[in-house]
């Protein structure tokens, strides 16, 4: 059955939280609801499901990747053109450490940003879910993804909580 995205717009966080409570009471699953705000409210302010993420793994992968890359660059370039200086070893470890450190950190940062985007479920340029521009002006949006036959029930729950407007997509 086709699914609909229904958005209820609320003036206050309390009304948004009431709408979410009403939806849960009506048997709507937490993962089918979404609270949209223009401000980072404290976690759980709307009684919403607090999402889990794996962001912390990304910098660790990045660091290992960067270190390996730097090792190849520093050791590879020195071994490819062996420049013996004062009888010292070809691989100048103290100098290598600087490049190893920078590449490790650089890739940790790059992978972290990739992780942030991936875990935020972005890019999402062609989303068909309901949205309203007034959310970034302070309104609270409660979005429900539901099957067509539940749409009227969801709309009435959203209205009962004091929705200023209901939009469907």
Partner 1 sequence: MQQHRELSEKQINTQLLNGALATPGWWKFAVIGLALIVLAGFATFGFMVNSGIGLTGKSRPVFWGALITTFVFWVGISHAGIMISAILRLTQAEWRRPVTRAAELLTVFSLITALTFPIIHAGRPWRIIYWIIPYDFSRGIWPNVRSPLVWDPAAIGTYLTGSILFLYVALLPDLGNLRDRTIGWRNTLYSVLSLGWRGNSRQWRLQTTAGILLSALMLPIFVSVHSIVSWDFAVTSGVEGWHSTIFAPYFVIGAVHSGVAAVVTMMALMRWLWKWDNFIRPEHFDALARLLIVVGTTWFAFTMIEILYSLYSLEAQELAFRDMQIFQWPWALLFVIFLITGFFIPVPAWFFKRVRNSIPLMFWTSISVNIGMWLERFLIIVPSLARKQPFVYTWGSYHPSLVEIMMILWSLAFVAMNMLLFARFFPLVPLFEQKESQVFSSKIKIGRASVPAVLREREQE
Q: Which residues of 141-156 are buried (b: 16+ CB within 10 A; e: fewer)?
A: bbbbbbeeebbeebbe
- Identify which of residues 65 and 73 has a Cβ nearer to partner 1 in the complex: 73
Contact predicate 112/58, CB 8 Å: yes
Exactly one of 103, 145, 154, 158 binds partner 1 (CB under 8 A); that residue is 103
Long-range CB contacts (within 8 A, 24+) of 92-100: 96/70, 96/71, 99/70, 99/73, 99/74, 100/67, 100/70, 100/71, 100/74
Exactly one of 117, 148, 156, 169 binds partner 1 (CB under 8 A); that residue is 117
The torsion defined by the Cα of 4, 28, 155 and 125, in degrees rounded to 10, comes to -40
Size of the site for partner 1 (CB under 8 A): 63
> What's the closest the beta carbon of residue 94 comes to partner 1, in angstroms?
9
Is residue 106 part of the contact set for partner 1 (CB under 8 A)? yes
Task: Report the relative pairing of strands 140-147 and 33-36 from DSSP bridges.
Answer: antiparallel
What is the footprint of partner 1 within residues 142-161 (CB under 8 A)? 143
What is the footprint of partner 1 within residues 73-92 (CB under 8 A)? 73-74, 76-78, 80-81, 83, 85, 92
Angle 142-113-70 from CA coordinates, rounded to 5°: 165
| Residue range at the interface with partner 1 (CB under 8 A); choices 21-29, 37-45, 151-159, 161-169 | 37-45
Q: Which residues bind partner 1 (CB under 8 A)?
A: 34-44, 46, 48-51, 53, 55-56, 59, 73-74, 76-78, 80-81, 83, 85, 92, 95-96, 98-99, 101-103, 105-106, 108-110, 112-113, 116-117, 119-127, 129, 131, 133, 135-138, 143
């Amino acid at each position: 059955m086709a699914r609909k995205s229904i958005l209820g717009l609320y003036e206050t966080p309390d009304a948004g939280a009431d709408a979410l409570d009403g939806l849960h009471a009506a048997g709507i699953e937490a993962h089918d609801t979404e609270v949209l705000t223009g401000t980072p409210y404290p976690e759980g302010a709307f009684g919403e499901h607090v999402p889990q993420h794996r962001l912390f793994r990304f910098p660790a992968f990045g660091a290992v990747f960067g270190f390996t890359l730097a090792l190849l660059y520093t050791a590879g370039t020195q071994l490819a053109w062996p420049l013996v200086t004062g009888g010292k070893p070809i691989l100048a470890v103290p100098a290598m450490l600087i490049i190893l450190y920078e590449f490790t950190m650089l890739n940790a940062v790059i992978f972290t940003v990739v992780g942030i985007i991936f875990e935020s479920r972005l890019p999402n340029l062609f989303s068909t879910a309901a949205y309203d521009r007034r959310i970034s002006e302070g309104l609270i949006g409660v979005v429900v993804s539901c099957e067509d036959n539940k749409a009227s029930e969801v709309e009435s729950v959203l209205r009962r909580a004091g929705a200023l407007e209901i939009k469907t997509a």
